[in-house]
Amino acid sequence: MLDRIREIICRFVDIEPESLTEDTNIRSDLGLNSLELINVAVAIEEEFDVEIPDREVANIETLGDAIAVIEKYLDD
- What separation, in Å, do the N-terminal and C-terminal C-alpha atoms of the chain show? 17
Residue 43 has a pLDDT of 96
- Quick one: which of 74, 13, 25 has its CA closest to 45? 74
- Each residue's pLDDT, cut to its tens digit, for the chain (76 residues) gives 999 999 999 999 999 999 999 999 998 999 988 888 889 999 999 999 999 998 998 889 999 999 999 999 997 6
Q: What element of type H or E holds 74?
A: helix 63-74
* Cα–Cα distance for residue pair 22/2, rounded to 1 Å: 7
Residues facing residue 62 across a β-bridge: 25
1 contacts 63 by C-beta, under 8 angstroms? no
18 Cβ contact list (under 8 Å, min separation 6): 6
Residue 34 has a pLDDT of 81
